[in-house]
Amino acid sequence: MTHQTIRISLVIWERLLKSLNAALFTALLCLGLYALLTNFSEARGALGKLFVKLTQIESFEGFNVKAAFKVDQIAQSTPIYQDLPAEMKDMLPEDIRSLRAAWVERLLYVGDQGKLCVFEFADQKMSEGYHADQHLAADGLISMKDSREVKAQVLEDMRQAKAKNEAWPNGEPRSCYVTELTKRGRNVKTALVQFLRAGFAAATATPAAQRDNARMKVADMAR
């Protein structure tokens, strides 16, 4: 085997290790998002924090090979990114990068969060949810609109609870509101779901399909 052949083989091997590292990293991120989306109540908080930590990492070391990973890749690898006008393409990576753990969960569950209110004696979870909504609204990902209808429903719930001598620790609702995804918010949510779908499909592929895909990658790198 000539020196040139050995050098080419090492280059191909290094590229393969980078691909494997990136694939493993992506699969872990996608599985975390999958658990978050499927509402595993005990895991959601930890997985949300894990998601943010992973998306803030630009590189990591493995097998003595440095593989780069950036949040931009989440946006740019999704079908929705390709269909967006230029100005929206610039916004999508920035919007994803701005998310924090609690905001990710809050964004994914917009419209499925029950009656949203600011209570007289709100507990920590309620306060954190409200502040997350405020940040998402300030970033232009959701809208927050006051709702007298929701407030009336919550006041009735409180009245009925007190009539039955049931606990009502949060006091009266000071204000209530409804949230809705904006166009930018829908783009972010769609991008995350599409990224998850692609990664989960790859992670659950049959061994034969995985081997075929690996051989194709090696062949492409050798060209």
Q: Which amino acid is at 35?
A: A
Q: What is the pLDDT of residues 129-150, one digit of tens each?
A: 999 999 999 999 999 999 999 9
Strand order across the 116-119 sheet = 116-119, 173-181, 142-146
Q: What would the pLDDT profile of 146-174 be if each residue is shown by its tens digit? A: 999 999 999 999 999 999 999 999 999 99
Lowest mean pLDDT among 34-38, 159-163, 177-181: 34-38
DSSP notation for 120-186: TT--HHHHHHHHHHHHHHHTTSEEEEE-HHHHHHHHHHHHHHHHTT---TT--EEEEEEEEE-HHHH
Please count the CA atoms within 13 angstroms of the CA of 181 that sit on its side-chain side.
18
Phi (first) and psi of residue 170, to 5 degrees: -90, -5
Domain ranges, ordered by start, for the chain? 1-98+184-223, 113-138+142-181
**The pLDDT of residue 205:** 60
